[in-house]
Amino acid sequence: MPRRPTPTRTDSRSAVIEAAARLLHDQGAGAVTTRAVAQAAGVQPPTIFRLFGDKDGLLEAVAEHVLAGYVADKTVAVTTEDGDPVEHLRAAWHTNIDFGLANPDLYGLLVTPGRLQQSPAMATGNDVFRTRVARVAAAGLLRVSEARAVDMLRAAGNGVVLTLLTQPEAGRDPALADALLDAVMARILTTAPAPPTSDAATLAVALRAAVPELPALTEAERGLMSEWLARAIERLQG
């Protein structure tokens, strides 16, 4: 009878992460015990400690695994879409809300301060989100700095998810996310592409978004112009 190949370290790691991810999604963080994960993955409990150190290490690896798959889809989308950048930003914001509500225990890991700060998947996801905001700025539709717009949208998104997760699912307000997004958009967006007579903040934000594409400038000159505009935007937005 042919002998089964011995599982490699990579095989064992993948099996454990996938088993833990299923338990986390289906039963919550409380179900992700060393014994339960080992049984589901078909490995001995010491294997988990050898691969991940402790339960926290395992949970962080699971969060990275699930987030990487989610971010991969977003990365493909942002490189292929065209059309209204505001509508794409709105759609992406709602997609993030849906992801958080569908993965409550995982979301708790993602927003816990100090966790996953060096996560490659989280860094990629943040880059995708900043790209969407930059496209709005380049269209002359942003009246605050890109950094402030990103922070406001992220704070609103996290707040909505965490608020809704504290409520019984049947009693959640389905319009809360839309209401909060509309409030943030009203604060960060201008009403139309910026004509020459638009306010200075809108013009400065749009120009700063276009600085990397300006011809006939050295990298040092682009950096200096971007710094000047950032300083002006900070003062203008108050």
pLDDT digits (tens, 9 = 90+) for 120-142: 888 899 999 999 999 999 888 99
Note the pLDDT of residue 222. Answer: 87
pLDDT above 70 (res 4): no
pLDDT above 70 (res 198): no
pLDDT above 80 (res 235): yes
Neighbours of 214 (CB within 10 A): 12
The whole-number average pLDDT for the span 98-118 is: 82
Nearest to 181 by CA among 221, 152, 144: 152
Nearest to 23 by CA among 51, 46, 53, 48: 48
Per-residue CA distances from 51 to 23, 34, 136 (Å) = 18, 12, 43
pLDDT above 50 (res 1): no
